[in-house]
Amino acid sequence: MQAFLDNTMSEFQKLRKQAESALSQVSDDEFFRALDAESNNLAVLCQHLGGNMMSRWSGFLTEDGEKPDRRRDAEFEVASGATRDQIMERWQAGWQCLFDNLGALTPEDLGRTIRIRSQPLSVLEAIHRQLTHAAGHVGQIVFLARHWKGAEWKTLSVPRGRSEEFHAALREKYGSS
């Protein structure tokens, strides 16, 4: 079970790095731009994920994951005058809260029951729930950033047309099976 906790930490770190690599490629204008009136922009996605992680991971084992002072609906609106730096501070705080609390868990904690919106969940279920939630929104972040950058996009994974070269390098590094 410690291997699960270690792997989960690693996967969350990869998601954060992927999102931040995508975000680093966009201008402030692109950060606040939406595809249409019904779509979230990058600022909203960062604001929401930061707020979600703060709520879920503060007092993780002892408090309901939906904190009474959280204003979830406000996470989907960018306040007038809000800056990218302010939004990214919330993003960073959310990730730090997640990493601090996830890192403090022990294998024995995985079977404990916590609550999110009063719903009882095992710690294991709550971790999976957070991982899939974050992965979905990170996917949106990457999609939007890639859309805004177009031909200027710097790939975050295997470049198109270079899969075989990538696989050959892995076979050389790890040996073929």
Structure confidence by residue, pLDDT tens digits, 69-118: 999 999 999 999 999 999 999 999 999 999 999 999 999 999 999 999 99
Neighbouring CB atoms inside 10 A of 104's CB total 11
- Two structure tokens written together for 15: 């998601």
Q: How far is CA 149 from the centre of its chain?
A: 21
- Two structure tokens written together for 25: 């490629």
Q: What is the pLDDT of residue 177?
A: 63
Residue 175 has pLDDT above 90, yes or no: no
Q: How confident is the model at residue 5 (pLDDT cuts 50, 70, 90)?
A: very high
What value does the mean pLDDT of the chain take? 95
- Two structure tokens written together for 37: 């009136």
pLDDT in tens, 146-162: 999 999 999 988 778 88
Q: What is the pLDDT of residue 155?
A: 93
Closest CA to 104 of 5, 3, 1: 5
Instruction: Say if CB 98 and CB 57 are below 8 A apart.
Output: yes
Angle between helices 2-23 and 84-104 (to 10 degrees): 170
Residue spans of the domains in the chain: they are: 2-174
Instruction: Say if CB 18 and CB 137 are below 8 A apart.
Output: no
- Region for residue 150 given its phi and psi (left: phi exceeds 0; alpha: psi -120 to 50; beta: otherwise): left
The mean pLDDT of 4-16, rounded to a whole number, is 98
- Two structure tokens written together for 102: 């996830």
Instruction: Say if CB 38 and CB 79 are below 8 A apart.
Output: no
Distance, CA of 63 to CA of 61 (rounded, Å): 6
Distance, CA of 80 to CA of 166 (rounded, Å): 45
Q: Kindly report the CA angle at 14 between 9 and 20, in degrees rounded to 5?
A: 125
Neighbouring CB atoms inside 10 A of 23's CB total 21
Q: What is the DSSP string of 125-156?
A: HHHHHHHHHHHHHHHHHHHHHHHHHGGG---S
Residues of the chain with pLDDT > 90, as a percent, come to: 86
Q: What is the pLDDT of residue 157?
A: 84
Among the four given CATH numbers 1.10.3720.10, 1.20.120.450, 3.40.140.10, 1.10.10.10, the one describing domain 2-174: 1.20.120.450
